[in-house]
């Protein structure tokens, strides 16, 4: 803490001293007021244990400032220095791997792609976490997993030893939505598509009948993410970050290799040739920045997508939510548009969206991409375990910020200082409302240093999730039937994904004839697919 304070002081030498002191006192006072009201125990004396420096990775949309007030609070409470690594979520693996290549291994290791846990363990980058230590120093996390996600409690075990705490996201019960431009459908007199033939009619109209009314042929039906709903009409997922497996009888198969995908490709190839698919689909729908934004949809280039999650597509008034006015008076108000819809209507105030059920294919199959309930792992860096007492300290902090049994403290670790950043809506302490201006501030939690823990498997009962359930998003999801990696998948997965993507793009654009689909399957199996499938089934 002394080291961090000195760096902050040196960087702010030009700031008038009185402003610096007043700002520091104000921030500390708000935290002290909350601590007193919550009857928080005093910090442990500095002599009780060594003061550890702990490098920490977390989910980030914005960088966490070095003097973030809630990080400072955790540092003071546990008498540690937290070194938060600012690794942007949309480039997390790339930035993390750069650190690892340079020899830097985080102490609190967020393994975002579940298949990477085995890879990192094989490289000696993560430490074994003795189960008795987990139960002693992270009892609330382990209790939550046992009670709410018992099927996943041993998913971080490799060769009989515990290496990763499973992060189970209960909201992944909701699949990715299928989104259309409602105003385009209305102008063209079309209903929301229910079948593949309905969908084909709709996207041809989007491409050829000037739905935006500008007199220019500059619109298309769909792009990359929408293609997964087409594959879903044949029961599979293809354009995914991982290889998606599905069950066929009693066996696991790779969905992209199944023969019905050749029929799906027939449709996509025809649509591409006819100018219905965005010719820029190869680069995806996102142009940078927040990774769940479909810029192709926002900019009016396509009329259908399946990108982002349900909470990225909320429209004004979809449900009622709690809010506080400038005088901190609680009131129920219509929810405001979020992310994709907010960006869309900022560009075109008349634009509207509608969710559709994934359309059915020739055999009645349907589905959109769903993310596995096992979202990631939380691991401990190998170096941390070699420093006496450090592993226990990390687990204590992780338990405190992730699964605190006290509702006030738990909310503070997620949203900040009560009365400053948020307040309870009602007396039941079940719903919170963000206070102005934080209710309109993108990812303010990153800028104040909250949400540094891991997701717990408690099913939220918020109005947002009730709204998602009312839309039927808990149905028609296509999940990966293989949730963890095997050694062969770790070795061969990246090359197989590259091979899959290159082949599918070539089939869609016409660079390869569909008659070569069997050749692609053979090349895939020869490149390690045979070994991957064998281990997956074993």
Residue 330 has a pLDDT of: 83
Residue 4 has a pLDDT of: 38
| Integer Cα distance of 298 and 303 in angstroms | 9
Q: What is the tens place of the pLDDT at every residue in 493-516?
A: 999 999 999 999 999 999 999 999
Residue 325 has a pLDDT of: 80
Burial class (CB in 10 A: 0-12, 13-18, 19+), 374: buried
Task: Count other C-beta atoms under 10 Å from residue 388's C-beta.
Answer: 9
Average pLDDT over residues 419-442: 90
Q: What is the tens place of the pLDDT at every residue in 520-535?
A: 999 999 999 999 999 9
| Integer Cα distance of 415 and 422 in angstroms | 7
Residue 331 has a pLDDT of: 87
Q: What is the tens place of the pLDDT at every residue in 360-391?
A: 999 999 999 999 999 999 999 999 999 999 99
Residue 10 has a pLDDT of: 34
Helical H segments across 403-486, by residue range: 407-415, 444-448, 463-470
Instruction: Identify which has the larger pLDDT, 5 or 126.
Output: 126
Residue 460 has a pLDDT of: 81
Q: Dihedral through CA 525, CA 529, CA 534, CA 536, nearest 10? A: -150
pLDDT-derived band at 30 (thresholds 50, 70, 90) equals low
Residue 36 has a pLDDT of: 57
pLDDT-derived band at 48 (thresholds 50, 70, 90) equals low
Two structure tokens written together for 440: 């309109």
| Integer Cα distance of 82 and 70 in angstroms | 11
Q: 246 pairs with which residues across the strands?
A: 253
Instruction: Identify which has the larger pLDDT, 90 or 226.
Output: 226
pLDDT-derived band at 32 (thresholds 50, 70, 90) equals low
| Integer Cα distance of 21 and 26 in angstroms | 8
In percent, how much of the chain has pLDDT > 70?
91
Task: Count other C-beta atoms under 10 Å from residue 389's C-beta.
Answer: 10
pLDDT > 70? residue 18: no
Q: What is the tens place of the pLDDT at every residue in 453-471?
A: 999 999 888 899 999 999 9
Residue 124 has a pLDDT of: 97
| Integer Cα distance of 227 and 264 in angstroms | 9
- Radius of gyration of the CA atoms of the chain, in A: 25
Q: Dihedral through CA 94, CA 97, CA 98, CA 99, nearest 10? A: 130
Q: Is 170 helix (H, G, I), strand (E, B) or coil?
A: helix
Helical H segments across 17-153, by residue range: 17-37, 69-78, 92-101, 116-122, 131-137, 139-148
| Integer Cα distance of 268 and 266 in angstroms | 6
* Of 391, 382, 378, residue with least CA distance to 125: 382
User: 2-16, 32-46, 146-160, 219-233 — which is least confidently predicted?
Assistant: 2-16
Instruction: Identify which has the larger pLDDT, 9 or 452.
Output: 452
Average pLDDT over residues 255-261: 98
Instruction: Identify which has the larger pLDDT, 447 or 440.
Output: 447
Residue 16 has a pLDDT of: 33
Q: How far is CA 234 from CA 80, 81, 249, 357, 360, in A?
A: 53, 52, 16, 15, 8
* Of 282, 341, 285, 354, residue with least CA distance to 314: 341
Residue 368 has a pLDDT of: 98
| Integer Cα distance of 38 and 32 in angstroms | 10
pLDDT-derived band at 256 (thresholds 50, 70, 90) equals very high
Average pLDDT over all residues of the chain: 91
Q: How far is CA 255 from CA 231, 245, 251, 352, 369, in A?
A: 9, 5, 12, 34, 12
Average pLDDT over residues 156-177: 96
Cis peptide before 437 (omega within 30 of 0): yes
Average pLDDT over residues 410-436: 92
pLDDT > 50? residue 26: no
Q: Which residue is associated with the tokens 């941390």?
A: 384
| Integer Cα distance of 401 and 40 in angstroms | 14
* Of 80, 64, 63, 149, residue with least CA distance to 377: 149
Q: What is the tens place of the pLDDT at every residue in 286-311?
A: 999 899 999 999 999 999 999 999 99
pLDDT > 70? residue 2: no
pLDDT > 60? residue 274: yes
Average pLDDT over residues 352-359: 98
Average pLDDT over residues 231-243: 97
């Amino acid at each position: 803490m002394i080291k961090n304070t000195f760096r902050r002081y040196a960087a702010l030498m030009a700031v008038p001293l009185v402003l610096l002191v007043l700002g520091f006192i104000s921030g500390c006072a708000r935290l002290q007021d909350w601590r007193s009201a919550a009857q928080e125990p005093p910090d442990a004396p500095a002599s009780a244990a060594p003061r550890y420096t702990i490098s920490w990775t977390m989910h980030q949309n914005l960088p966490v400032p070095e003097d973030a007030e809630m990080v400072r609070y955790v540092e003071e409470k546990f008498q540690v220095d937290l070194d938060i690594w600012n690794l942007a979520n949309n480039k997390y693996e790339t930035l993390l791997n750069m650190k690892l290549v340079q020899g830097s291994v985080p102490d609190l290791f967020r393994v975002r792609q579940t298949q990477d846990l085995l890879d990192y363990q094989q490289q000696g980058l993560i430490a074994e976490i003795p189960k008795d230590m987990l139960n002693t120093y992270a009892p609330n996390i382990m209790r939550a997993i046992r009670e709410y996600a018992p099927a996943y409690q041993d998913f971080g075990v490799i060769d009989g030893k515990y290496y990763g705490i499973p992060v189970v996201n209960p909201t992944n019960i909701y699949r990715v939505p299928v989104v259309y431009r409602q105003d385009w459908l209305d102008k063209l007199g079309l209903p929301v598509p229910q079948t593949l033939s309905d969908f084909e009619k709709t996207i041809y109209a989007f491409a050829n009948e000037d739905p935006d009314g500008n007199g220019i042929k500059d619109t298309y039906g769909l792009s990359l993410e929408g293609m997964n709903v087409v594959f879903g009409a044949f029961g599979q997922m293809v354009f995914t970050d991982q290889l998606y497996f599905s069950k066929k009888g009693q066996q696991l198969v790779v969905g992209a290799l199944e023969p019905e995908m050749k029929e799906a490709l027939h449709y996509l190839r025809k649509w591409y040739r006819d100018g219905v698919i965005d010719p820029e689909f190869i680069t995806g729908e996102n142009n940078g920045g927040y990774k769940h934004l479909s810029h192709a949809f926002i900019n009016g280039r396509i009329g259908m997508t399946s990108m982002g999650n349900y909470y990225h597509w909320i429209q004004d008034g979809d449900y009622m939510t709690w809010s506080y006015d400038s005088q901190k008076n609680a009131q129920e108000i219509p929810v405001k548009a979020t992310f994709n819809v907010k960006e869309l209507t900022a560009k075109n105030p008349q634009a509207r969206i509608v969710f559709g059920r994934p359309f059915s294919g020739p055999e009645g199959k349907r589905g959109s991409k769903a993310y596995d309930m096992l979202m990631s792992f939380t691991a401990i860096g190998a170096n941390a375990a070699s420093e006496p007492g450090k592993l226990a300290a990390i687990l204590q902090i992780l338990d405190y910020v992730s699964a605190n049994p006290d509702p006030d403290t738990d909310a503070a670790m997620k949203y900040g200082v009560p009365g400053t950043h948020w307040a309870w809506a009602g007396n039941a302490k079940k719903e919170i409302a963000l206070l102005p201006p934080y209710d309109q501030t993108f990812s303010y939690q990153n800028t104040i240093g909250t949400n540094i823990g891991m997701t717990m498997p408690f099913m939220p009962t918020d109005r947002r999730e009730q709204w998602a359930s009312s839309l039927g998003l808990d149905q028609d999801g296509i999940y990966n039937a293989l949730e963890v990696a095997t050694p062969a998948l770790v070795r061969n997965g990246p090359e197989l994904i590259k091979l899959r993507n290159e082949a599918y793009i070539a089939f869609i654009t016409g660079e390869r004839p569909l008659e070569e689909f069997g050749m692609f399957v053979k090349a895939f199996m020869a490149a390690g697919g045979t070994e991957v499938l064998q281990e997956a089934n074993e």
